[in-house]
């Protein structure tokens, strides 16, 4: 790997639809609405957008998705990229966009996603997304995101003596943050007792250990610093970027308890010139509570096996925690737009105007994107400009 330096790129605008049930609303409509919201957020026009970066909706996996969306947005972009890395896709797209902005290949990049996952698709992950012959485990009933991640969570629990309350402390803390977030999908308080009493989905994962499903769209606008200087909202700097992909599965027996996030964050930290102690707020890819605990460790916030104790001590809470995390409630409580929410909430926190959920003095944020069931990972470190 060569010398790492941050890209000359900033996040200028973020936008999203409301999260929840939008029956009858197409995935395309959610993508278009989010694109419009992000442009309104930063004051740019669609005609300013010369880079389009997309991921296909899961409800209708498509080749050439970016071309199809671009037509509906009326765009004639200079650069176009559609990627597919599961929950790591958003941050991978943002990284490609930042790099192309840095190179001068485009000036205003829109990173767009939207899906009607709550009302528009059968919840049968693992069938359509994997190629024939590569998903034969479906015959034994290994279906659904929770079931696939549960194999990691069970191994992690067994190896390090993680308790139910440690998993639960993540769900309870993030719900506490959602209560203070006006646009969160689930805002009823959640107690540890209610968490422990909730039904199992796939042991050791209970209902509240699992991401919610949302109909929703989200968009992030990246641009060059000189473009952002003329805009109304404060820009947020892209300071660190990293990726890593463990595509060799269980040939390395550690892959269920050590994700590619260790390598991805190492790159991002080095690019930013920062370490875990320098991070003020985190937005983890919280598809499951176990994923958050393992990522905490992979990112250096706790030694391996001690992420659960770190969370149980209240360190993820806005109220007095060492590392306020998923400050809008995350995918566990606020909304699930597969990784876009992490970057959007980090940007909002660094703007510093989030009312009751604002982390006071937040100047740096780290975001994780985790996908492909322990395979793909991307990291972003953002900072006030």
Partner 1 sequence: MSSQWEIPKPEPTKNEETTPFWEGTAAGELRFQECEECGNRQLPAAPACVACLSPKVVWRASAGRGTVFSYTVIHHAFHPAFAAEVPYVVADVELDEGPILVSGIRPVDPAAVSIGMAVEVWFEPMADNPEYVLHWFRPAGGES
Q: Which residues bind partner 1 (CB under 8 A)?
A: 122-125, 127, 132-134, 136-144, 146-147, 150-155, 158, 199-205, 248, 250-251, 253, 256
> Least distance (Å) from partner 1 to the CB of residue 60?
13
Of 143 and 212, nearer to partner 1 (C-beta) is 143
Q: What is the DSSP string of 23-68?
A: TT--HHHHHHHHHHHHHHHHT--GGG--EEEE---TTS--TTHHHH
Name the minimum Å distance from CB 342 to partner 1: 25
Q: For 299, what's the count of Cα atoms within 13 Å in the CB-facing half-sphere? A: 34
CB of 234 to partner 1, least distance (A): 43
Name which of 47 and 123 has its Cβ closer to partner 1. Answer: 123
CA–CA distances in Å: residue 93 to residues 141, 221, 375, 380 = 32, 11, 17, 11
Q: In this structure, are residues 153 and 292 in contact, taking their beta carbons and an 8 Å threshold?
A: no
Cα dihedral across residues 66, 103, 236, 263: positive or negative: positive
How many CB atoms lie under 10 A from the CB of residue 368? Answer: 30
Tell whether the torsion through CA atoms of 60, 72, 183 and 166 is positive or negative.
Answer: positive
For the four alpha carbons of 89, 92, 97 and 100, in that order, the dihedral sign comes to negative
Question: How far apart are CB 69 and partner 1 at their closest, in Å?
Answer: 24
Least Cβ distance, residue 288 to partner 1 (angstroms): 12
Nearer to partner 1, 167 or 340 (CB): 167
Q: Which is nearer to partner 1, 214 or 267 (CB)?
A: 214
DSSP at 133? T
Shortest distance, CB of residue 126 to partner 1, whole angstroms?
8
Q: Which of 217, 169, 176, 221 is nearest to 335 (CA)?
A: 217
| Residue nearer to partner 1 on the CB measure, 11 or 153 | 153
241: phi then psi, degrees, rounded to nearest 5? -140, 145
Q: Which is nearer to partner 1, 207 or 385 (CB)?
A: 207
Residue 357 structure tokens: 């959920």
Smallest gap from Cβ 21 to partner 1, in A, equals 15
Give, in degrees to the nearest 5, the angle at Cα 274 between 268 and 276.
90
Query: The tokens of 4 are what?
Result: 């790492």
CA 131 to chain centre: 25
In the complex with partner 1, the residue whose CB is nearer, 151 or 385, is: 151
Rounded CA separation 215/51 (Å): 25
Dist. CA 64–CA 74, nearest whole Å: 16
Task: Select 186 or 301, whichever has its Cβ closest to partner 1.
Answer: 186
What's the closest the beta carbon of residue 27 comes to partner 1, in angstroms? 16
């Amino acid at each position: 790997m060569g010398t790492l330096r941050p890209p000359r790129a900033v996040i200028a605008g973020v936008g999203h639809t409301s999260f929840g049930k939008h029956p009858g609303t197409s995935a395309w409509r959610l993508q278009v609405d989010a694109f419009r919201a992000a442009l309104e957020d930063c004051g740019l026009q669609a005609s300013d957008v010369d880079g389009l970066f997309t991921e296909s909706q899961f409800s209708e996996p498509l080749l050439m998705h970016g071309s199809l969306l671009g037509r509906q947005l009326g765009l004639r972009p200079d650069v176009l990229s559609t990627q597919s890395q599961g929950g790591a896709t958003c941050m991978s797209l943002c990284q490609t966009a930042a790099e192309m902005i840095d190179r001068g290949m485009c000036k205003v990049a829109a990173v767009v996603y939207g899906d009607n996952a709550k009302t528009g698709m059968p919840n049968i992950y693992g069938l359509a997304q994997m190629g024939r012959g590569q998903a034969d485990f479906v015959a034994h009933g290994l279906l659904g995101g929770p079931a696939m991640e549960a194999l990691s969570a069970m191994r992690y629990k067994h190896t390090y003596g993680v308790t139910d309350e440690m998993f639960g402390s993540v769900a309870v803390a993030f719900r506490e943050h959602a209560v203070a977030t006006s646009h969160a999908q689930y805002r009823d308080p959640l107690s540890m007792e209610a968490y422990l009493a909730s039904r199992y989905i796939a042991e050791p994962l209970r209902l509240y250990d699992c991401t919610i499903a949302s109909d929703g769209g989200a968009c992030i606008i990246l641009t060059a610093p000189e473009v952002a200087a003329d805009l109304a909202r404060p820009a947020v700097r892209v300071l660190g970027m990293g990726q890593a992909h463990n595509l060799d599965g269980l040939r390395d027996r550690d892959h269920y308890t050590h994700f590619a996030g260790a390598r991805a964050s190492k790159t991002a930290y080095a690019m930013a010139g920062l370490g875990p102690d320098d991070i003020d707020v985190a937005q983890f890819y919280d598809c499951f509570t176990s994923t958050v605990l393992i990522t905490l460790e992979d990112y250096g916030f706790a030694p391996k096996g001690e992420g659960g104790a770190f969370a149980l001590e209240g360190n993820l809470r806005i109220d007095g925690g060492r590392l306020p995390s998923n400050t809008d409630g995350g995918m566990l409580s606020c909304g699930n737009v597969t990784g876009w929410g992490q970057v959007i909430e980090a940007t909002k926190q660094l703007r510093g105007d989030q009312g009751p959920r604002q982390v006071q003095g937040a100047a740096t944020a780290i975001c994780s994107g985790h996908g492909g069931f322990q395979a793909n990972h991307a990291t972003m470190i953002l900072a006030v400009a």
